Structure 1
Amino acid sequence: MTAASGDVEAFTLLGLALSLIILRTYVRFDLVGLRKFQLDDYLMILTGVLFTAELVLAYMVVAKFDGLTNSYMTPEERAALDPNSYEYYQRVSGSKIQVAGWSIYVMTLWSGKFCLAIFYSRLTMGLSQFEMRVHIAYILLGTTYIATALSILLSCRPMNKFWQIDPDPGNTCQPTVSKVYILVVMILNVLTDAFLLFIPLPLLWKVDIGLKRKISLMVLFSGGLFIIAASIIRAAVVLTSGPDGAVQGSKWACRETFVSIAVANIPIIFPLIRSCANKIGLSALFSSSGRPSNSHPLTSKRGTGHELRSRSNRRHNPMSIPGGTAWDSDEQILANNNHVHVSINGNDNGDNESDDHSKTKGGIGVTKEVTIIRETAGSP
């Protein structure tokens, strides 16, 4: 890949990422208004800023420093390099950029992970089993980010050895090929993405809808698999690409980060995508199949008696907002012997008790329905 094509790819990824963030912000503003923005809304804006900085640094590695760092040099080449030469300046500056680039790369990835975890906390509201997983995710993300950041900054002491040319500072002080950098970041990145997948997929697998729609929703929330693949590919490329490792590593870092941003934003803007598809006659792409998505309450068949169905006060997901136009129908999840309705991109008219279906505009609303059986004394 030439430098020119790499520049085109980098700016294309930046444009797409910022477009997704803008669309997400628009959808969230339309749903809840600026005053009710959640932490992940602001955190995603910060993620966009970090991604922009990451791409700028990756561009500088190629455009200004020719991909040169303190790596891929023999002892003879190190000793012969004049400290006053332009190449020496490029190698020192390129190494500094690598340290900064790795740090911002990790910040961007983990910022996107936190956005996803916060989104899942709304998705699983009221479901204790899944809420616990989200709480564990917060702890896991916090500890792994600290571990990763410290491994980047403290793996080489004193820090100026990160850009030392002569003598050879050793592998851990060569940020382009440092095995500490590559392996710690990859392992913890894969671990956290795998755990985040563990939150929504079991929940969605229980959705009482057609198989086609169930699979499409699971694919929608399975983007972490692409991040895992990109992380592994990036590590393999850096370790095997030789002197071109700095350039190729930077490119794969940008690709991986873009995928992470897309994964964190597409579930939010999905109702807008579906709405646009409906307007241009592509509604079949997002239609349900199989049995209808209307919910059916659980009933017990223990003898005969008077059956009373009472619906608990609905705990509406904060992603819901009264008013607006419905984008989709309700979906049902059966968990813990309660009926749990997951309304994906419906409409909430603001009446918690007047309708059998919880409706949200552009979000995922969660309600519970419990069936109570009262047996009459003396009945068979």
Structure 2
Amino acid sequence: MESQTVVALWLFSCLALVIMGTRLVLRKMAKQPFNLGDYLTMGACLCCIARLSMTHVVLIWGTNNVSVAIRKTHVFSADEIYRRTIGSKLAITARCFYNTFLWLQKFVLLDVYRRLLLGTWYEKHIMIVFLSVLSSTWVVVTVVVFTECHPFRLYWQVVPDPGTCVEAQMELFVMASLNILTDVMLLTFPFLLFTHFQTSWKLKLRLFALFTLGVFIVIITIVRLPITRENRESQPDRSMWTSTEMFVATIVVNAPTIYGLWNNLRRRKRPDTLQSNSQVTGGAGQSGERPTLPQMVNA
């Protein structure tokens, strides 16, 4: 199981990095400056790399989350205790990078929505609400990582048995619940936005389909909860699900922008569309007009 999880960890992490890297490369190929969403994507790349390196060690060396049945017959050597101690410390840190990665992706998607709202009277109010919710939930999921074990050293204590706090079931439940809440909040937002844009229904449905891919993140989180709870003493199982969720979140958040940038470059190659293309990709909100859906996917 550990070897399969290591392969999945590297595969999903590298694919996520390729997707985010593609977004940044296409931005430069389109001769557009990096926007806030791109800089947030760079931060997500760093979180992905950090989690990848730490989780690899965790899966190879193990943690202090060992079942009672194994502890009854297994004698931990000094070297194994050292490795499991380091692995346990890295596992806690990796959870923080994982949570931060997911919330950065939410902020990237929120930046797309912000560009859609430029020039509207309700832009400030909606952004304040969304920023407050996303920021506060990120703080909660970060703090709860460190609140289950008392004293704190139990998080990496191998012997004697640190107890069930190292299974991090409360952290998993809180994180999953807030993840679902914020995802649903972000996914329902396009319903309100698309009714305000004057463009073809074909384009609306195409872009809306990209956004609603996010429902898979919610499904993965819901399915993951009972499975991870049943295998609460299996770090490989937990890592497999988190790697999958990170990969799907990366696709959902970056697909609209990558599609828009690619479509932009494709149209530029056609001489007869150069003029119309330059009008479409103009800076959103610069003339005080509400941005269009084509501007959104290029934002």
TM-score, normalized by length of structure 1? 0.66
Structure 1 contact 83–89 (Cα < 8 Å) conserved: no
Question: Is 1:233 aligned to 2:223, yes or no?
Answer: yes
Give the C-alpha shift of residue 136 in structure 1: 0.8
Question: Is 1:188 aligned to 2:146, yes or no?
Answer: no
Give the C-alpha shift of residue 145 in structure 1: 0.9
Q: Which residue of 2 aligns with 1:98?
A: 91
Matches within 5 A, 1:142-291: 142-172=135-165, 174=166, 177-241=167-231, 243=233, 245-274=234-263
Tell me the SS of whatever aligns to 2:277.
coil
Deviations 1:334-361 (A, max 9, x none): xxxxxx754233xxxxxxxxxxxxxx59
Please list every run of 5 or more consecutive structure 1 residues that lacks an aligned counterpart in the other structure: 280-322, 331-339, 346-359, 365-380
Q: Which residue of 2 aligns with 1:110?
A: 103
Give the C-alpha shift of residue 233 in structure 1: 2.7
Distance, in Å, in 2 between the alignment partners of 1:180 and 1:249 is: 14
Higher strand share: 1
Matches within 5 A, 1:307-318: none
Residue type of the partner of 2:136? Answer: T
Structure 1 contact 92–163 (Cα < 8 Å) conserved: yes
How large is the RMSD of aligned CA atoms in angstroms?
3.2
Distance, in Å, in 1 between the alignment partners of 2:16 and 2:159 is: 40
Residue type of the partner of 1:274? Answer: N
TM-score, normalized by length of structure 2? 0.82
Which entry has the higher C-alpha Rg, 1 or 2?
A: 1
Matches within 5 A, 1:41-60: 41-60=38-57
Query: Residues 103 and 272 from structure 1, CA distance in 2 versus in 1: closer, same or farther, beyond 3 angstroms?
Result: same
Residue type of the partner of 2:298? Answer: G
Structure 2 contact 264–277 (Cα < 8 Å) conserved: no
Query: Residues 101 and 71 from structure 1, CA distance in 2 versus in 1: closer, same or farther, beyond 3 angstroms?
Result: same
Question: Is 1:326 aligned to 2:287, yes or no?
Answer: no
Q: Which residue of 1 aligns with 2:285?
A: none
Matches within 5 A, 1:297-312: none
Partner residue of 1:69 out of 63, 75, 82: 63
Deviations 1:301-326 (A, max 9, x none): xxxxxxxxxxxxxxxxxxxxxx8772
Residue type of the partner of 2:27? Answer: R
Q: Which residue of 2 aligns with 1:25?
A: 24
Please list every run of 5 or more consecutive structure 2 residues that lacks an aligned counterpart in the other structure: 269-273, 282-288
Q: Which residue of 2 aligns with 1:371?
A: none
Distance, in Å, in 2 between the alignment partners of 1:11 and 1:325 is: 42
Distance, in Å, in 1 between the alignment partners of 2:190 and 2:204 is: 12
- Count of residues in Structure 1 that have an aligned counterpart in Structure 2: 288
Distance, in Å, in 1 between the alignment partners of 2:203 and 2:54 is: 41
Give the C-alpha shift of residue 72 in structure 1: 3.8
Distance, in Å, in 2 between the alignment partners of 1:327 and 1:221 is: 25
Distance, in Å, in 1 between the alignment partners of 2:149 and 2:7 is: 34
User: Whose relative contact order is higher, 1 or 2, with alpha carbons under 8 Å and at least 6 apart?
Assistant: 2
Tell me the SS of whatever aligns to 1:198.
helix
Give the C-alpha shift of residue 239 in structure 1: 0.9
Query: Residues 206 and 273 from structure 1, CA distance in 2 versus in 1: closer, same or farther, beyond 3 angstroms?
Result: same
Query: Residues 92 and 261 from structure 1, CA distance in 2 versus in 1: closer, same or farther, beyond 3 angstroms?
Result: same
Q: Which residue of 2 aligns with 1:121?
A: 114
Query: Residues 111 and 230 from structure 1, CA distance in 2 versus in 1: closer, same or farther, beyond 3 angstroms?
Result: same
Structure 1 contact 205–218 (Cα < 8 Å) conserved: no
**More displaced stretch, 129-138 vs 247-256:** 129-138
Identical aligned residues as a percent: 26
